[in-house]
Amino acid sequence: MVTEKEMKQEKQEGITVKKNEDFSEWYTQAVLKGELVDYGPVQGTIAMRPHSMAVWENIQKIFDKKIKRTGHMNAYFPLLIPENFLKKEAEHFKGFIPEVFWVTHSGENKLGERLAIRPTSETIIYDFYSKWVRSWRDLPVLLNQWCNILRAEIKSTKPFIRGSEFLWQEGHTAHATKEAADVEMMMILEEYRDLIENFLAIPVLLGQKSDSEKFAGALTTTTLETMMPDGKALQMGTSHNLGQNFSKPFDIKFLDKDGKQQYVWTTSWGISTRLIGGIVMTHGDDKGLVLPPKVSPYQVVIVPIYYSDEDKKVVMKKVADVMEVFAKNEVRMTADLREGYTPGWKFNEWEMKGIPLRIEIGPRDVKTKQVVFVRRDSGKKVVVKEKDIIKSANATLEDIQQSLFKNAKKFLDENIHTVRNYFEFKKIIEEKGGFVKAGWCGESHCEEQIKVETSATIRVIPFEKDKERSEKFSKCIYCERPAREAVYFAKSY
Amino acid sequence: MVTEKEMKQEKQEGITVKKNEDFSEWYTQAVLKGELVDYGPVQGTIAMRPHSMAVWENIQKIFDKKIKRTGHMNAYFPLLIPENFLKKEAEHFKGFIPEVFWVTHSGENKLGERLAIRPTSETIIYDFYSKWVRSWRDLPVLLNQWCNILRAEIKSTKPFIRGSEFLWQEGHTAHATKEAADVEMMMILEEYRDLIENFLAIPVLLGQKSDSEKFAGALTTTTLETMMPDGKALQMGTSHNLGQNFSKPFDIKFLDKDGKQQYVWTTSWGISTRLIGGIVMTHGDDKGLVLPPKVSPYQVVIVPIYYSDEDKKVVMKKVADVMEVFAKNEVRMTADLREGYTPGWKFNEWEMKGIPLRIEIGPRDVKTKQVVFVRRDSGKKVVVKEKDIIKSANATLEDIQQSLFKNAKKFLDENIHTVRNYFEFKKIIEEKGGFVKAGWCGESHCEEQIKVETSATIRVIPFEKDKERSEKFSKCIYCERPAREAVYFAKSY
């Protein structure tokens, strides 16, 4: 029985705007109505509800396995960082200071020194490394932590994308040589690419950051960027070689094989719950979330369909059988057996929540020994024989995963523009958005002017210099002097 | 080749005091030299090094599986709690206010309202629940979060046992009735007992807390307590029925089946990284840590023994074979193949780190197709045939697990005392420590006086009233009026 109250809810609960008409409002509704998040009392804070936490747990499992396979181990470092630690690396301090939450009291007592809530943990971790590293035998140090991070965001906060608190992993490694640190940085970047492209189904551009866009204190920052439907780039993760910029002020030294004191080379790298925002923006549609099967909390939801007690008995028996078959397999499945909601209400709810595959079982299906598959991505319905359920479910999930990636890749490719001159550059950035691939002289003056005039920044300096089409990018798009390389510009989150 | 520097280290690295001579110093050395932790810059903070983080990850895996099996899901709530939230439940506020770290600034800006770093999350979570719960259909809410907690500890901090920051899980559930909340509280208590006794090998006393020892704001607090070697009790976890004490000020209401508005009944429950401290104290010995196989990062460490290049070749070949056999099994194993350390140095290190089982493989063992097992708990050496390695390793690990529990149980049992009068009570508490089981009238006046005079508090009011020996406990140990029940007193951490 559906009560009047719930019938009303049904009408209200759908998403009321189209993704391509009001993207920002669509996103807000998608994450709230899809029950990923709710807003916290402090500006820019959210609660991650079970539906988003389960996505994050899946991402954690995948990435944790990857880094442990390559010798990394998890640790946990203090949340509170004395102000003088943050100040030791000047660039780093300048970069993070405006966003720091400061602790000034414990209980009734005023603290002697202000404590920062970690906006990132390089400084506190390096204080420990300076105690732990003595000899070349102690290297490399390959640690990671999964934790919360706080950065006070005042304006344009958006759940997952930009907030005052988020969850992430931060890897912090120390090596004997620059080369070893570079290898680490690039290996992690590749692990990120695999995670993001092959599990989250989001294609990315890989490359370096320009000096002005580097992590505060880094020698080299590498990045993975993708394009959102509103034409703004989203940075999905970064991996930095910090050189000896931190090991010197923090005095992390080791005795090398020749008995000489040397400073270590460090890297740091992170991905955060921002990835969930990327998933929502990339794959969602007018009905709400569309989650990639590989990280969706449930991959399959079974919805029984009946309108009489007699049918219910028959259908529920069959549902139990199918659940048993799934229980013996790896597929993450739930069955929505709640009373008092119509099948239609349930369809809407699970569509809004983005579960990749719905299996409907009604009385007629029981008789014909079949079930109905409904894909979340395409809405396509297929009748599947009972005996083929598992095989078909696995194949369909795999196909959905591939299809999501393919569509996102098509979108990304279509939104990389080339232009003949700065006039066209500005026009595209202002009117269409997306990436503009263009020549750059390498001077930060041009980069800065473009930012001031268009809000676009250099998102990626690709690793592979584009030889084939080099003529197109032979001149700096701004100053028209010879270009050093072709880079990707875009507005960004 | 072992360098002079390392030979020196070898001498330094052992634990320099005996567990039964200077327990506090022994503990400090055990956790530092066993590389579980290092001290942070802020009073009472620590870094959890990979060795302790891996124990915590094992505990997480075990408990997370347990609660998910019973329908709980993980979520994540904000770290920062506005001061007015904490104030809503008066008892709760009073209990936590002295320990709160206060955030007063973000960047350069003074905040309008002070923000507490969560000392526990009831208040912030209940603010969300008041938005999420509407109907009886929304109940129960069964959420948990794994997170960091901050409570400013000024004096007698001790890694894992009492610190300004620790990791924990906190479950927060909402139910339609008091009975349902009681069932939840007791079910979780039983899951904790299973975890602590059957995985951490630590026996516990179960029961309730007296009013004065309850969680600030709880209706009922249930607890698991055990006895440390220095005669002080350690609380290992608590599970609370919070009644409607929070649902009323936070206005968490639901429409019941009869259409009436009702307040929910909530529970909360937590275990923390303190459990690791309990493991160290309970099982450790003069050589350092002794980790229970079920939660030890590695269960087995293989150490090759050779003193010539010729032997090395033969031994390493065999080690590789044995590793391959282990790789196909569930046993968590590492092989210490580092160059430049003597086997003896490695033995000491892994003993200090508490790995349950060491497997030594030397040239003679290769010839005789056998290996040497050395148990960490007893130091006993056994020769095992190569073909029996896995079977024997599993059996030995199981035996170590059982043996650790048995010894700890014996210790606990021997340290539960009964006394004839208050004179004896004081004597035992002061001279021997341990639990004293004694009659109590139920009045907080007597409880308070005992605390003032002896520092002992009521740790546990057992669920089962002791009938068999009821005469012994027929009078209150303090006022000698008729006892309401027998309870366990002790000094505690």
Length of chain A (residues): 493
- ∠ CA B128-B131-B133, rounded to 5°: 105
**CB burial of residue B35 (10 Å; 0-12, 13-18, 19+):** middle
Widest CA span of chain B, in angstroms?
A: 84
In this model, does residue B275 exceed pLDDT 90? yes
B128-184 residue pLDDT tens: 999 999 999 999 999 999 999 999 987 889 999 999 999 999 999 999 999 999 999
Distance CA A377, CA A116 (A): 44
d(CA A190, CA A209): 16
User: Within 13 Å of residue A49, how many CA atoms lie on the same side as its CB?
Assistant: 18
For the stretch B293-303, pLDDT in tens is: 999 999 999 99
First to last CA, chain B: 45
Alpha helices in A288-342 (DSSP H): 309-327
Q: How confident is the model at residue B8 (pLDDT cuts 50, 70, 90)?
A: very low
Q: Which of B6-10, B126-130, B303-307 is predicted least confidently?
A: B6-10
A105 in contact with B at a CB cutoff of 8 Å?
yes
Contact status, residue B440 vs residue B476, Cβ threshold 8 Å: yes
Indicate the SS3 state at residue B141. strand
Assign B424 to helix, strand or coil: helix
Q: How far apart are the CA of B23 and the nearest CA of chain A, in angstroms?
A: 26
Are B263 and B244 in contact, with CB atoms under 8 Å apart? Answer: yes
| C-beta separation of A166 from A191 below 8 A | no
Task: Give A382's Cβ-side CA count (13 Å radius).
Answer: 15
How far is residue A383's CA from residue A369's CA, in Å, rounded to a whole number?
A: 10
| Phi-psi domain of A113 (left: phi exceeds 0; alpha: psi -120 through 50; beta: other) | beta
**Would you state the pLDDT for residue A472?**
85
The sheet carrying A220-227 orders its strands as A73-74, A141-150, A165-175, A265-272, A233-243, A220-227, A205-208, A457-462, A485-490, A435-440, A416-418
pLDDT given at position B11: 53
Per CB-CB distance under 8 Å, the chain A contacts of B46 are 78
Question: Residue B1 above 50 pLDDT?
Answer: no
A141-150 and A165-175 strand pairing: antiparallel
Residue pair B221/B240 in contact by the 8 Å Cβ criterion: yes
Q: Give the distance from residue B367's alpha carbon to the nearest chain A alpha carbon, in angstroms.
A: 32
Chain B CA closest to residue A138? B338
CB contact under 8 A, A80 and B165: yes
**Looking at residue A7, what is its pLDDT?**
45
With CA atoms as reference, report the closest residue to A133 among A91, A196, A186, A175: A175
Question: Measured between CB atoms, does B105 come within 8 Å of chain A?
Answer: yes
As given in the structure block, the two tokens for residue B471 are 């005469």
ipTM of the complex: 0.95
Task: Look at residue B469 in the predicted model and tell me its pLDDT.
Answer: 58
Q: Tell me if A483 sits within 8 A of A474, measured CB to CB.
A: yes
Residue A8: the pLDDT is 43
Pairing state of beta strands A416-418 and A435-440?
Answer: parallel
Contacts of A108 in chain B (CB under 8 A): 98
Question: What value does the mean pLDDT take over residues B45-72?
Answer: 98
- Report DSSP state, residue B108: T
* Cross-chain CB nearest to A48 (options B76, B80, B117): B76
Chain B closest CA to A391's CA: distance in Å?
A: 26
Interface of B with A in 157-176 (CB under 8 A): 164-165, 167
Instruction: List, in sequence order, every residue forming a beta bridge with A227; answer none if it has no partner.
Output: A233
Helices within B328-388 (DSSP H only): 343-352, 363-368
- All structural domains of chain A: 17-283 (3.30.930.10), 300-396 (3.40.50.800), 416-490 (3.30.110.30)
Sole residue written with tokens 């002896």: B454
Residue B184 to residue B219: CA distance in whole angstroms: 14
Whether the CB-CB separation of B229 and B408 falls below 8 Å is answered with no
pLDDT of B470: 72
Residue B467 has a pLDDT of 56
- For chain A, 493 residues long, give each residue's pLDDT as a single digit of tens: 344 444 444 454 799 999 999 999 999 999 999 999 999 999 999 999 999 999 999 999 999 999 999 999 999 999 999 999 999 988 888 888 899 999 999 999 999 999 999 999 999 999 999 999 999 999 999 999 999 999 998 788 999 999 999 999 999 999 999 999 999 999 999 999 999 999 999 999 999 999 999 998 999 999 999 999 999 999 999 999 999 999 999 999 999 999 999 999 999 999 999 999 999 999 999 999 999 999 999 999 999 999 999 999 999 999 999 999 999 998 999 999 998 899 999 999 999 999 999 999 999 999 999 999 999 999 999 999 999 999 999 999 999 999 999 999 999 999 999 999 999 999 999 999 999 999 999 999 999 999 999 999 999 999 987 655 578 899 999 999 999 999 999 999 9
Contacts of B125 in chain A (CB under 8 A): 47
Q: Where are the beta strands (DSSP E) in A135-289?
A: 141-150, 165-175, 205-208, 220-227, 233-243, 253-255, 261-263, 265-272
| B483 secondary structure, DSSP code | P
Distance from CA of B361 to the nearest CA of A (A): 23
Q: Helices A389-414 and A274-283: crossing angle, nearest 10°?
A: 90
- Residues in chain B closer than 8 A to A76 (CB atoms): 47-48, 53, 56, 148, 167
Q: Give the CB-side neighbour count of residue A389, counting CA atoms within 13 A.
A: 28
What is the DSSP pairing of strand A233-243 with strand A220-227? antiparallel
Average pLDDT of B382-386?
97
Chain A residues in contact with B42 (beta carbon < 8 A)? 78, 80, 82, 115
Nearest to B167 among A46, A76, A107 (CB): A76
Contact partners, residue B172, CB within 8 Å, separation at least 6: B121, B122, B125, B126, B129, B141, B143, B144, B145, B266, B267, B268
**Residue B302 has what pLDDT?**
98
* Pairwise CB contact (< 8 Å): B78 & A167: no
Q: What pLDDT, on a 0 to 100 scale, did the predictor assign at position B44?
A: 96
CA distance A355 to A291: 6
| Owner of token pair 């004293």 | B436
A102, A147, A172: best mutation site toward chain B, by most B Cβ within 10 Å?
Answer: A102
- Cβ distance of B148 and A143 shorter than 8 Å: no
Q: Closest Cα partner for A141 from A77, A80, A184, A78?
A: A184
To the nearest whole Å, the CA of B73 is away from the closest chain A CA by: 6
For residue B255, the cross-strand partners are B135, B261
**Which structure tokens are listed for A203?**
């294609």
Q: How far apart are CA A114 and CA A154, in angstroms?
A: 21
Among B161, B36, B149, CA closest to A80: B149
Check residue A420 and report its DSSP letter: S
pLDDT for res B492: 97
pLDDT at A469: 58
Q: How high is the pLDDT of residue B2?
A: 43
Structure tokens at B320: 């590789």
What's residue A467's pLDDT?
Answer: 56
Question: Residue B68 corresponds to which tokens in the numbers above?
Answer: 């998910």
Sorted by sequence, the CB contacts under 8 Å of residue A267 that are 6+ apart come out as: A171, A172, A173, A175, A181, A184, A185, A188, A239, A240, A241, A242
- Compute the 3-state secondary structure of chain A and give helix, strand, coil in percent, each to the nearest 5: 40, 30, 35
- Among the listed residues B295, B284, B230, B275, the one whose alpha carbon sits nearest the alpha carbon of residue B15: B284
A371–B contact, CB cutoff 8 A: no
Determine the residue type at A134: R
**Euclidean distance between CA atoms B230 and B282, whole angstroms:** 10
Distance CA A446, CA A478 (A): 6
Give the model confidence (pLDDT) of B338-378 as tens digits: 988 999 999 999 999 999 999 999 999 999 999 999 999 99
Burial class of A480 by CB neighbour count within 10 A (0 to 12, 13 to 18, 19+): middle
Query: What is residue A1's predicted lDDT score, i.e. its pLDDT?
Result: 39
Q: What is the pLDDT of residues B443-491, one digit of tens each?
A: 999 999 999 999 999 999 999 876 555 788 999 999 999 999 999 999 9
Residue B151 DSSP label: -
Q: How far is CA A398 from CA A194, A327, B347, in A?
A: 16, 19, 49
Q: Which residue matches tokens 């980790």? A: B291
Q: What is the pLDDT of residue B471?
A: 81
Determine the Cα–Cα distance for residues A283 and A200; give it in Å rounded to an integer: 10
Q: For residue B463, give how far its alpha carbon lies from the nearest alpha carbon of chain A (Å).
A: 34
Q: How far apart are CA A190 and CA A193, in angstroms?
A: 5
**CA–CA distance, A37 with A40 (Å, rounded to integer):** 9
